[in-house]
């Protein structure tokens, strides 16, 4: 059985995705995921920059890898990124291996 990753976008992000429906990726409104095949499937050529993206997937589905690569791509484009670590499971070694600049990542952990 295949793995599934669900991507949930905020209302602002959904609107941005609809507005950016051109075939070419709009670098000002999207962030590449780090996976060109996935970016090609997304209407805007990546995930919307102006919004919140929630990734959900079963264990070993690749959701964390997708999230880390997207964070690295966003950072490479000059974006400020916050990681909400509800499960307290962010592995800094894995994040760095995926290209995340830890010194520029705001990690939020519940109290």
| Cβ 79 vs Cβ 73: under 8 Å | no
Binned at pLDDT 50, 70 and 90, residue 26 comes out as low
Task: Give per-residue pLDDT as tens, 75-100.
Answer: 999 888 999 998 898 999 999 999 99
Mean confidence (pLDDT) of the chain: 79
Residue-level pLDDT at 55: 82
- Give kind and range of the element (H or E) at residue 74: helix 63-76
Is residue 5 pLDDT above 50, yes or no? yes
| Cβ 84 vs Cβ 63: under 8 Å | no
Binned at pLDDT 50, 70 and 90, residue 17 comes out as very low
22-26 long-range Cβ contacts below 8 angstroms, 24+ apart: none
Through-space distance between the first and last CA atoms of the chain, rounded to whole angstroms: 37
Residue-level pLDDT at 18: 42
Binned at pLDDT 50, 70 and 90, residue 69 comes out as very high
Q: Which residues contact 73 (CB under 8 A, 6 or more apart)?
A: 31, 32, 33, 34, 46, 99
Binned at pLDDT 50, 70 and 90, residue 23 comes out as very low
């Amino acid at each position: 059985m295949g793995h599934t990753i669900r991507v949930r976008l905020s209302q602002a992000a959904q609107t941005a995705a609809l507005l950016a429906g051109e075939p070419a990726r709009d670098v000002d409104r999207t962030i590449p995921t780090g996976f060109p095949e996935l970016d090609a499937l997304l209407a805007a050529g990546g995930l919307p920059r102006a919004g919140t993206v929630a990734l959900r997937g079963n264990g070993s589905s690749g959701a964390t890898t997708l999230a880390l690569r997207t964070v690295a791509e966003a950072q490479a484009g000059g974006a400020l990124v916050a990681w909400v670590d509800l499960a307290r499971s962010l592995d800094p070694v894995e994040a760095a291996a995926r290209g995340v600049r830890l010194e520029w990542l705001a990690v939020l952990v519940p109290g």
